[in-house]
Amino acid sequence: MSAKLETKVSDAWGSETPPQARSADTSGMVQATGSAAESGGWAMPVQAIGLLLVAPALAVVVFLFIVPLISSVTGAFDVGGALSLGNFAKAFELYSGDMLFTLAIVLLSSALIALFSIMIGGYLTLGSNPRAVAILRWIYRWPLFIPFIVVGQILRTFLAKNGLMNNIFIELGLMTPLSAMSFLDWRGIVIAFVWKQTPFVALLLSGAMASIDRSTIEAARNLGANRLRILVEIVLPQVRTTLLVGLILSFVTMMSVLSVPLMINAQSPTMITANMAFRINAYRDYGVANALGLISLLMTSAVAWIYLRQTMREHSR
């Protein structure tokens, strides 16, 4: 009886499929199931899923940026339904001085922003008084959270002839009421731009300076270099790219601001953005307004091209 039992057991084990065959059959079943699912149409390809995920962002870029840009560019060359340079000729005839004024204001503001940002970032990195560094780090970021229209209103009441600044100087005996003068001109625009954009560039610059290897700074100190020399010769060359990025972003931002020139400098010359608003609101002249917008775009593109050229040159090294 035991022999019969052994025979049945051996027959049962022999009738089983080997592990290799079982795994092969299982994989074949999975592949068959997958192919059947694909043929059934309910399984979506990975590429289609990726396109669906990206589609909302692409739609926003296309309909809110590319389409209006193409419309503005074509509208700048449209004169009475025909392609012409008449809008550009009229823009240069009426507003060539304002174009130069805009470029000068933005370039001067960018230079001052660079200077003050280097000063703030340098003191945050090399300052020896921890309390002063903490206070500066806490205060200098405040203008980041104030909109440009609020900046224009604040400085309009501060820089006027009877504004807060002149009243303070009169109370301190630094000037007489008759010698008080208004800063609501190009100087007010520069002050507004520098006050608003310096914290942004300083934030980028101070972060880049904080990531520098401190051993280079300590080595320069051990060799007797003062803080100014360390800042100019050791720190700034290592954060030059970050400074350039911040200034270019600030340049583009200042070129697009409308509220500050309207609220601070209403007379001529003024900035291109104010001229664009005037052509649209007063004359419904979208052609000249589009031409002015394209001219400002070319200005910012030139600055961006300088940055890209400098970046590619550094990467090629």
Please check whether residue 287 lies inside any domain of the structure: yes
Print the domain residue range for 311.
85-316
Note whether 178 and 303 are same-domain residues: yes
Are 217 and 230 within 8 A, CB to CB? yes
CA-to-CA distance for 156 and 188, rounded, in angstroms? 8
Question: Same domain, yes or no, for 61 and 113?
Answer: no
Where residue 80 falls (left for φ over 0; alpha for ψ -120 to 50; beta otherwise) is left
In this structure, the answer to whether residues 67 and 117 fall within a common structural domain is no
Do both 50 and 130 map to the same domain?
no
Structural domains counted in the chain: 2
In this structure, are 117 and 41 located in the same domain? no
> Are 124 and 41 contained in the same domain?
no
248 by Cβ neighbours in 10 Å (0-12 / 13-18 / 19+) ranks as: middle
pLDDT number for residue 43: 63
CA-to-CA distance for 29 and 31, rounded, in angstroms? 5
What is the pLDDT tens value at each position of the chain, 317 positions in all?
444 444 444 444 444 445 444 444 444 444 444 444 444 455 667 778 888 888 999 999 999 999 999 999 999 999 988 889 999 999 999 999 999 999 999 999 999 999 999 999 999 999 888 899 999 999 999 999 999 999 999 999 999 988 899 999 999 988 888 888 889 999 999 999 999 999 999 999 999 999 998 898 999 899 888 999 999 999 999 999 899 999 999 999 999 999 999 999 878 789 999 999 999 999 999 999 999 999 999 999 988 888 788 778 777 76
Report in angstroms the alpha-carbon separations of 278 from 125, 288, 298.
45, 10, 21
Q: Are 295 and 232 contacting, i.e. CB atoms less than 8 angstroms apart?
A: no
* Domain identity same for 214 and 281: yes
Residues 143, 41 share a domain: no
From the list 283, 276, 281, 286, the residue with the least C-alpha distance to 255 is 276
For residue 83, the surrounding DSSP H or E stretch is strand 82-83
We report the CATH number of the domain holding residue 301 as 1.10.3720.10
Residue 30, domain member (yes or no)? no
Q: How far apart are CA 113 and CA 143, in angstroms?
A: 13
What's the CA gap between 184 and 94, in Å, rounded? 23
Q: Is the peptide bond before 130 cis (omega within 30 degrees of 0)?
A: no
Phi, psi of 160 (to 5 degrees): -65, 165
pTM of the model: 0.79
Domain check: are 71 and 188 in the same one? Answer: no
206 and 173 share a domain?
yes
Distance, CA of 80 to CA of 59 (rounded, Å): 31
Q: Does 24 map to a domain?
A: no
